[in-house]
Amino acid sequence: MSTQTQFIGALLDAAAPVPDGLIDPEGRAAGKRFDVYRNNVIVSLVAALRDGFPALNSLLGPEYFDALAGIYVRQHPPSDPRLMNYGASLPQFLSGFEPLAHLPYLADVARLELAIRTSYHAADHTPVTPDQLAAIPPEALGNQCFGLAPSAVLIHSPYPIVGIRAKALGGNMGEARAHDVLVARAEFDPIPHILAPGVLSFLTALSDGRALGDAAGLAAEAAPEFDLSAALGLSLSAQILTERAIP
Amino acid sequence: MFDAPFPTSLPLAPGVGYKSSHFAQIMADPGPVEWLEIHAENYMGDGGRPLAQLRALSERFSISVHGVGLSIGGEGPLDADHLARLKHLVGWLSPASFSEHLAWSTHSTGYMNDLLPLPYTDATLTRVAEHIDEVQTVLGRRMLLENPSTYLAFAETDMSETDFLSELTRRTGCGLLLDVNNVFVSATNQKTNAEAYLKAFPTHAVGELHLGGHDVQSDEHGDPLLIDSHGAATADPVWKLYADLIARIGPAPTLIEWDNDVPDWPVLRNEAELAAHILSPVA
């Protein structure tokens, strides 16, 4: 086993002995000096997760969050140095974490927090404006294709995750029903929007390259009360539509 | 050996480690601060506020890109994807300086988010020199390598850190980032002499200096154990080492590093003013 393999093995396992050959100035085994590195690794990565999942931290309480994140960090250290991406597998980890099985919405709240972070760092885009949309002849509108902004992220949850997150961060709970959510960033700050019935299907179909008319049809199949003009209104105000050539 | 002009064009003035919470105040009231240092890994997203702020800052200040995740001291090969991301960032920004650490952080297990130590031997010297050559070739520029804070030693080490760094500059042509706080922290922890370290340091290769704060602890034997926390003001003995160094080698770009428990802007600006007085004693 290589020196650095041993070093990392002992870093991530607090019960492991300090690897041979690590010493203090008197030549004694390193002991607490090695623990400095152990501590730096776990504390800094737990802090990165706390920054990335503030609502989860609030829902669990900092002490529980530390313990949970400590387990996660040891099992799933970052795969590369971009900590802005760290924690992508935390929702899945939460789903399988037996002691929290009675709080099944936590994984979806974590998914929402991840979506907000993804949106924050996503590429900038030039949105389709209301004037541009209005300039499309009505007979051509059904065949028009649009893309979704790179910073637009769609989530479905059986839980009212937008309200749970808002309350965890000191706001109001709002509507307590299942949520389809669009996270979108007009300029720099991502905002979660609760979607009306069918809108998630509509936006997913647009994103998949379906023309507007097809996407509206799919949305109406998924939810008969789907309201196309309201869906377009939200898409324009949230600035998520981008130009896409007709295939 | 990478043959190119001196590794940095940073101003011979104070800089600070950039924190987004200071954006508006830095733009409005920089005081003596003429340049900013950013951690490369925080600007590897595709867009949004971080890159927009960085672009705006770069139009007003010289920028130093400081990598914390390349793992130049790693046993394995450098992460080619990460190096490509650095190349992209450096190409986009054209910073005045690029620097990284004499340390490692990535292994097959993953990225540890800490600057881990390595033994100083012929074998590690060869490996680190190869990694620096690769970085300089891919980026197309000379880099600065920073001396680490260390908390322990390796029984197998048979070369001093200053000899190790001197030999790296000779083999690769890289410059050095001399972190004076790290010198004090390591010398205290290793029971060596910080003044002697600085006398032995190849100062002709220095392109940038770092100052920052540390925590004072002790080990299980009661010996002092200083932690490079970047979470406090620079300590008095570090200021003394710095002032003596500047008196000997002349002014050099000097960064105030304060990454944790980030203070309000006036506190950080005041640290930069202390450095400015030492850099230009007449002012």
3-state secondary structure chain B: CCCCCCCCCCCCCEEEECCHHHHHHHHHCCCCCCEEEEEHHHHCCCCCHHHHHHHHHHCCCEEEEECCCCCCCCCCCCCHHHHHHHHHHHHHHCCCEEEEECCEEEECCEEEEEEECCCCCHHHHHHHHHHHHHHHHHHCCCCEEECCCCCCEECCCCCCHHHHHHHHHHHHCCEEEEEHHHHHHHHHHHCCCHHHHHHHCCHHHEEEEEEECCEEEECCCCCEEEECCCCCCCCHHHHHHHHHHHHHHCCCCEEEECCCCCCCHHHHHHHHHHHHHHHCCCC
Q: State both tokens at B223.
A: 């010996």
Q: State both tokens at B268.
A: 């950080």
Mean pLDDT taken over chain A: 95
* Residue keyed to tokens 């907000």: A116
Among candidates A37, A47, A53, A54, which has minimal Cα distance to A73?
A: A47
Do residue B111 and residue A41 have CB atoms under 8 angstroms apart? no
**Rounded mean pLDDT of B229-252?**
96
Residue B8 is assigned to a structural domain of this protein: no
Tally helices (H) and strands (E) across chain A. 12, 6
Among candidates B202, B141, B194, B143, which has minimal Cα distance to B167?
A: B202
Q: What percent of chain B has pLDDT over 90?
A: 95
* Residue keyed to tokens 């509507």: A175
Query: What is the CATH number for B156?
Result: 3.20.20.150
- pLDDT attached to residue B216: 96
**Rounded mean pLDDT of B62-74?**
98
How many domains in chain B? 1
Give the CA count within 13 Å in the CB-facing half-sphere of B212: 27
Do residue A36 and residue B50 have CB atoms under 8 angstroms apart? no
Burial status of residue A214 (CB atoms within 10 A of its CB: 0-12, 13-18, 19 or more): middle
Phi/psi at A83 (5° precision): -65, -15
B283 pLDDT higher than 50 = no
B1 pLDDT higher than 50 = no
- pLDDT attached to residue B264: 96
Sequence spans of domains, chain A: 1-103, 124-247
B26 pLDDT higher than 90 = yes
pLDDT in tens, A19-63: 999 999 999 999 999 999 999 999 999 999 999 999 999 999 999
Q: State both tokens at B207.
A: 């392109």
**Rounded mean pLDDT of A2-16?**
92
- Determine how many CB atoms are found less than 10 A away from the CB of residue B56: 12
Reduced to 3 states (helix: H, G, I; strand: E, B; else coil), residue A123 is: coil
pLDDT in tens, B141-185: 999 999 999 999 999 999 999 999 999 999 999 999 999 999 999
CA distances from B197 to B113, B193, B213 (A): 27, 6, 19
- pLDDT attached to residue A205: 98
The pTM of the full predicted model, rounded to 2 decimals, is 0.95
pLDDT in tens, B214-228: 999 999 999 999 999
Question: Which CATH number does A124-247 carry?
Answer: 3.90.930
B5 pLDDT higher than 50 = no
Query: Residue A89 corresponds to which amino acid?
Result: S
Nearest chain A residue to B51 by CA distance is A121
Do residue A44 and residue B227 have CB atoms under 8 angstroms apart? no
State in Å, rounded, how far the first CA of chain A is from the last one.
Answer: 55
What's the pLDDT band for B63 if we cut at 50, 70, 90?
Answer: very high
Boundaries of domain holding B269 = 14-282
- pLDDT attached to residue A177: 83
Do residue B46 and residue A36 have CB atoms under 8 angstroms apart? no
Q: State both tokens at B75.
A: 């046993």
Report the residue from B41, B116, B219 with minimal CB separation from A7.
B116
Cα B247 to Cα B249: distance, rounded to the nearest angstrom: 6
Query: Greater confidence, B105 or B282?
Result: B105
Query: Which run of H or E residues covers position A184?
Result: strand A179-184
- pLDDT attached to residue A244: 83
Residue B4 is assigned to a structural domain of this protein: no
Instruction: Establish if B109 touches chain A: CB-CB under 8 angstroms.
Output: yes
State how far Cα B170 lies from the chain centre: 19
Phi/psi at B64 (5° precision): -110, 125
Among candidates B129, B80, B78, B126, which has minimal Cα distance to B105?
A: B78
Among candidates B143, B179, B142, B135, which has minimal Cα distance to B161?
A: B179
DSSP β-bridge partners for residue B35: B15, B62
What's the pLDDT band for A178 if we cut at 50, 70, 90?
Answer: confident
Residue B7 is assigned to a structural domain of this protein: no
A204 pLDDT higher than 90 = yes
Instruction: Mention every residue, 6+ apart, whose C-beta is less than 8 A from residue B274.
Output: B234, B239
Phi/psi at B152 (5° precision): -145, 175
Instruction: Establish if B231 touches chain A: CB-CB under 8 angstroms.
Output: no
* Residue keyed to tokens 């324009």: A236
- pLDDT attached to residue A115: 98
Do residue B190 and residue A45 have CB atoms under 8 angstroms apart? no
B282 pLDDT higher than 80 = no
Q: Give the angle B99-B105-B109 at the CA atoms, nearest 5°.
A: 150
Instruction: Establish if B262 touches chain A: CB-CB under 8 angstroms.
Output: no
Closest chain B C-alpha to A43 CA, distance in angstroms:
10
CB A218 within 8 A of CB A205: yes
pLDDT in tens, A95-124: 999 999 999 999 999 999 999 999 999 999
Query: Which run of H or E residues covers position A194?
Result: strand A191-194
Report the residue from A7, A23, A48 with minimal CB separation from B155.
A23
CA distances from A76 to A70, A92, B262 (A): 10, 12, 28
Instruction: Mention every residue, 6+ apart, whose C-beta is less than 8 A from residue B260.
Output: B229, B230, B231
Nearest chain B residue to A40 by CA distance is B114
- Determine how many CB atoms are found less than 10 A away from the CB of residue A13: 11
Long-range contacts, B280-283 (Cβ 8 Å, 24+): B280/B251
Q: State both tokens at A56.
A: 């989860």
Among A4, A119, A242, most B C-beta atoms within 10 A, so best to mutate, is A4
Cα B75 to Cα A79: distance, rounded to the nearest angstrom: 17
What's the pLDDT band for A174 if we cut at 50, 70, 90?
Answer: confident
- pLDDT attached to residue A245: 61
Among A80, A117, A119, A153, most B C-beta atoms within 10 A, so best to mutate, is A80
**Rounded mean pLDDT of B239-263?**
96
Cα B207 to Cα B175: distance, rounded to the nearest angstrom: 6
